[in-house]
Structure 1
Amino acid sequence: MTTFTRHALSTGVTLNVATAGPEDGPAIVFLHGFPESHRTWRRLVPLLEDRYRLIMPDQRGFAASGAPQDKADYATDKIVGDLFALVDRLGLDAFTLVGHDWGGAVSWAAALRGDPRLKRLAIVNAPHPVLFQKSLIEDSDQRAASQYITAFRAPGFEHYPETIGWEAFFDKSFSGHVDLASIPADDKAQYIAEWSQPGVFNAMLNWYRGAAVMVPPPGVTVPLPDFLLRAFPKIAVPTLVVWGMKDKALLPLQLDGLDTLVEDLRIVRIEDAGHFVPWEKPEPVAAALRSFLELPTGA
């Protein structure tokens, strides 16, 4: 059974946190991305709650959590701060971190902190920051696929869904990724209810507005930023990357070169799934997580 608790964190935001599974089970913190909530993991919960303590916050700006309106409040270091403030509040001595989409971006950054409580990292369709920025400059297909980020950053875009209607925006958000008929009506209603709360959609967009990633327009030659030219620290914790290979937003080329940035890497490709693989194909995702989590340390 999933329960909910609100946690006022030392970072100044209050997060709505869903939990499931035994309290004494190995802890897994799940971080969702755009445009979702803790519900990203809804179809994984029945497959994992028998053994694991599942901790699934709505991240800042989403659903039932606090939604600061300043884009500066969505810098990566502040969102990573939320994660570790939640870990502190829950008293976790050890945990696995699983992130999808923006939750994956936060998870990559969290792993780079080297916090000894973070024992394993699992990433689901979320590119490593170095590879993503590099691909936005060097790969025309990824650059084209990411132009929506520029649209999301545009002043006033927070009013766009109201202009076309929330149902139309829902269809535009998911139709390119999944069969809309596969999304139950009550799920659709919940998405729209969350997005249409006062200030929430603007806060969701602030994840893009507050991020440092550079998205050049098509056809423009841009030099590589300095941080891509320097040595970048490797991820030291054992890492699993699960990728829905039909992802049209984050192309599978994001897997190329990961082995040079992660010391202990496993990749599981799910050929018949796209970007929203956690609920599109939950069984192979859960199987990959179980296999990874049950490996002995150092295996």
Structure 2
Amino acid sequence: METRFQILNGQRFHIRRWGSSDLPPLLMLHGFPEYGGAWADLAPHLASHFHCIAPDQRGYGQSWAPEGVGQYATSELVSDMIALVEGLDTPISVLGHDWGAAVAYGLAMFRPDLVGRLIIANGVHPVPFQRAMASGGPQSAASQYINALRAPDAATHFAANNFTRLESFFRHGMGLDWLSDARMEDYRTEWARPGRLNAMLNWYRASPLVVAKPGEPCTDLPRLPVERLMVRCPHLLLWGSDDKALLPEATDGLEDFAPDLTRVDIPGTDHWLHHQKPEAMAQAIIEWTDG
């Protein structure tokens, strides 16, 4: 692995890379509450096939973390990655997990000229996810934690006692064998950088997605431009079925937005499949790419 800083849209971003720069590029986009280093389990298994590029996204790690909720609208987050991808030989492959999936979908939907293949690992397209969260059913219940993350005092709450509450949130519903004490300290180091935790939480606050109360469906939803939210390139969805935050119903109807969709389950994993079964995940990606 090598690291460097790169200027994107006039701001400084921290980027990790694995594999020869002569290989096809694979942009790897992390989610909450991780950072670019979260791909260190998976990337070595892909580095013989791809030049893996893993930025700390806006507000995370050592990258630019502006103040203000509006700075974390999806359009702003996608614009950072457009600036990064435009410096590469395009179209490229893009891999997104969790919130990184939202940015990956944004790239594929709004700049299809830049994305040749889209890989999502336990992440969701905005339309099926909004429908599931608005239904008042199981996904609505599973998504109630979003309200706590959007609260004005969330950064203070989750940072208390050396991030004890954020660690508990992070550990909820995951296999713990990969999360050693040493790795947990690495996460705390990134969370403790000035302004970072509040910036990370601003991703949730800036999202227009509505979370219904369990048993109380929402019908007055913001209109999503469905006709513009198509994924035209080949799309691989990797899924850990034991995920407690994102349920299978959050991907119902995805085929309507991704006509060239392949679904692959990674047995024995939950939301953190890239840590739990990186070899199996890499094999699925390589087989799909080579197929």
Give the TM-score band, short-chain normalised.
over 0.9
Alignment of 1:46-61 (within 5 A): 46-61=44-59
Match of 2:269 among 267, 270, 273: 273
Is the CA contact 1:167–1:192 (under 8 Å) kept in the aligned structure 2? no
| Cα distance in 1 between the residues matched to 2:187 and 2:89 | 30
Q: How many Å apart are 1:66 and its aligned residue?
A: 0.9
Equivalent position of 1:210 in the other structure: 206
Q: What's the secondary structure of 2:243's corresponding residue?
A: coil
Equivalent position of 1:138 in the other structure: 135
Question: Any unmatched runs of 5+ in structure 2?
Answer: none
Alpha-carbon distance change, 285 to 230 in structure 1, aligned in 2, over 3 angstroms: closer
Give the letter for the 1:197 counterpart. Answer: R
Question: Any unmatched runs of 5+ in structure 1?
Answer: none
Residue 9 (structure 1) aligned with residue 5 (structure 2): no
Q: How many Å apart are 1:168 and its aligned residue?
A: 4.5
Length-normalised TM-score, structure 1: 0.92
Residue 169 (structure 1) aligned with residue 169 (structure 2): no
| Cα distance in 1 between the residues matched to 2:172 and 2:280 | 22
Equivalent position of 1:44 in the other structure: 42
Alignment of 1:1-299 (within 5 A): 2-10=1-9, 12-88=10-86, 90-179=87-176, 181-223=177-219, 225=221, 227=223, 231=227, 233-295=229-291
Is the CA contact 2:93–2:118 (under 8 Å) kept in the aligned structure 1? yes
Q: How many Å apart are 1:281 and its aligned residue?
A: 1.1
Q: How many Å apart are 1:178 and its aligned residue?
A: 2.1
In the TM superposition, what whole-angstrom CA distance separates every residue of 1:113-167 from its partner, at most 9, and x where no partner exists? 1432311000010111000000011152111111111111111111012334324
Alpha-carbon distance change, 139 to 4 in structure 1, aligned in 2, over 3 angstroms: same
Q: How many Å apart are 1:224 and its aligned residue?
A: 5.2
Output the aligned Cα RMSD.
Answer: 1.7
Q: What's the secondary structure of 1:24's corresponding residue?
A: coil
Greater shift in the superposed pair: 256-265 or 76-85: 256-265
Length-normalised TM-score, structure 2: 0.94
In the TM superposition, what whole-angstrom CA distance separates every residue of 1:170-214 from its partner, at most 9, and x where no partner exists? 1332132222x5312221100011101121000000000111111
Alpha-carbon distance change, 286 to 79 in structure 1, aligned in 2, over 3 angstroms: same
Alpha-carbon distance change, 51 to 162 in structure 1, aligned in 2, over 3 angstroms: closer
Is the CA contact 2:173–2:270 (under 8 Å) kept in the aligned structure 1? no
Q: What's the secondary structure of 1:112's corresponding residue?
A: helix
Alpha-carbon distance change, 53 to 61 in structure 1, aligned in 2, over 3 angstroms: same
Name the count of aligned residue pairs.
291
| Cα distance in 1 between the residues matched to 2:135 and 2:217 | 9
Is the CA contact 1:239–1:266 (under 8 Å) kept in the aligned structure 2? yes
Alpha-carbon distance change, 229 to 77 in structure 1, aligned in 2, over 3 angstroms: closer
Is the CA contact 1:31–1:38 (under 8 Å) kept in the aligned structure 2? yes
